[in-house]
């Protein structure tokens, strides 16, 4: 008599990871982002802040792989410029690493802010409807009618260039898309039987929204948030390139490009390497977004 066949059922997380890892490009993108995040978290272990913002004029435009004497805390030590030096003799690689930390913070903080605020407004609009929905959605429509970069530029120009204002500007311009996305998802979920069952058992609206509605709306939000991080980093880079974001000598990929622009012929390494870093991170986040879309909702593939 043959032994019974054992059926192995995957948990939701196992099923998600099984689908996600089938997309090799998405896994590669995840590896790239984990590498960047790890380096960004350990930035001070590689290069001290004082070193990468301090001038080393004698070593200005040092080529890739140059060894030179630098001043560190009043002492002259030998230093290897792995990716060369910029117009002030500052280490390009060191500034890129510290700039990666700034970019990652901007991406995560602005999208977390947009998801929390936009998601809350979208959930309220979709769940309650009526006049409240009309007011919220018309406000979102007005913000969506203004180009994101133009709106962010106007906010920073009005409030002044600073790290906090940059976060606020990008966060505000990212809110409307999550309002519309969460509202649309809530509308498809709120009349489901499990929601009606929770309401019949006496659950309050807040509990129904948090415990039953929002968890079933997260798949498209997670995908959009991943793509949104890439867009936030790109927006911050653009604003810093225009001089309205992170101000020198603090390193940020956008202001590194701005400072390197006049020297694109004489010192191309000062522009090429930050540009490659931006391109790599944006591409990696987009690949992860595609992988998450396929893993969380395979029906969207087509």
Model confidence over 227-274: pLDDT tens digits? 999 999 999 999 999 999 999 889 999 999 999 999 999 999 999 999
CA-to-CA distance for 249 and 162, rounded, in angstroms? 13
Domain ranges of the chain: 24-53+92-301
CA-to-CA distance for 60 and 263, rounded, in angstroms? 12
- For residue 287, CA distances in Å to 160, 255, 282 come to 34, 26, 9
Model confidence over 26-67: pLDDT tens digits? 999 999 999 999 999 999 999 888 888 887 878 888 899 999
24-53+92-301 homologous superfamily: MetI-like (1.10.3720.10)
Q: How many CA atoms lie within 13 A of 232 on its CB side?
A: 31
pLDDT of residue 123: 93
* Non-local CB neighbours of 249 within 8 Å, separated by 6+ positions: 53, 54, 88, 90
Q: What's 59's DSSP letter? A: G
Of 49, 143, 28, nearest in space to 95 by CA: 49
pLDDT of residue 205: 81
Q: Is pLDDT of 5 > 70?
A: no
Q: What letters, b where the CB count within 10 A reaches 16 and e where it falls short, cover 75-88?
A: eeeebebebbbbbb
Which residue in this structure is represented by tokens 């911050």? 236
User: Residue 72: beta bridge partners?
Assistant: 75
User: What would the two tokens of residue 135 be?
Assistant: 């007011």
Q: Is pLDDT of 208 > 90?
A: no
Of 93, 59, 92, nearest in space to 76 by CA: 59
User: Residue 3: which pLDDT band, with cuts at 50, 70 and 90?
Assistant: low
Question: Mean pLDDT, to the nearest integer, of 281-296?
Answer: 93
* Residue 256 burial by Cβ neighbours in a 10 Å radius (0-12, 13-18, 19+): buried
pTM: 0.90
Model confidence over 114-134: pLDDT tens digits? 999 999 999 999 999 889 999
User: What would the two tokens of residue 251 be?
Assistant: 């390193």
* Non-local CB neighbours of 213 within 8 Å, separated by 6+ positions: 123, 127, 186, 189, 190, 195
Of 63, 100, 73, 86, nearest in space to 237 by CA: 100
CB contact at 8 A, 189 and 182: no
Strand-strand pairing, 75-81 and 66-72: antiparallel
CA-to-CA distance for 169 and 263, rounded, in angstroms? 30
């Amino acid at each position: 008599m043959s032994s019974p066949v054992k059926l192995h059922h995957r948990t939701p997380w196992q099923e998600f990871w099984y689908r996600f890892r089938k997309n090799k490009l998405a896994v590669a993108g995840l590896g790239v982002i984990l590498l960047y995040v790890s380096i960004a978290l350990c930035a001070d272990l590689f290069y001290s802040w004082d070193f990468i913002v301090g001038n080393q004029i004698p070593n200005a435009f040092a080529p890739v792989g140059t060894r030179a004497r630098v001043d560190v805390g009043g002492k002259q030590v030998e230093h290897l410029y792995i990716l060369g030096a910029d117009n002030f003799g500052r280490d390009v690689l060191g500034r890129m690493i510290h700039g990666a930390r700034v970019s990652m913070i901007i991406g995560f903080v602005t999208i977390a802010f947009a998801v929390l605020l936009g998601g809350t407004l979208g959930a309220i609009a979709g769940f309650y409807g009526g006049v409240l929905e009309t007011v919220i959605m018309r406000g979102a429509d007005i913000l969506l009618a203004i180009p994101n970069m133009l709106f962010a530029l106007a906010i920073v120009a009005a409030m002044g260039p600073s790290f906090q204002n940059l976060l606020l500007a990008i966060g505000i311009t990212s809110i409307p898309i999550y309002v519309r996305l969460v509202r649309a998802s809530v509308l498809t979920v709120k009349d489901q039987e499990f929601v009606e069952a929770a309401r019949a058992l006496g659950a309050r609206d807040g509990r129904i929204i948090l415990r039953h509605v929002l968890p079933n709306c997260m798949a498209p939000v997670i995908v959009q948030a991943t793509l949104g991080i890439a867009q936030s980093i790109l927006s911050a880079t653009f604003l810093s390139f225009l001089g309205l974001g992170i101000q020198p000598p603090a390193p940020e990929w956008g202001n590194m490009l701005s400072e390197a622009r006049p020297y694109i012929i004489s010192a191309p390494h000062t522009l090429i390497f930050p540009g490659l870093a931006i391109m790599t991170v944006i591409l990696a986040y987009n690949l992860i977004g595609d992988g998450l879309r396929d893993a969380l909702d395979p029906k969207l593939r087509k």
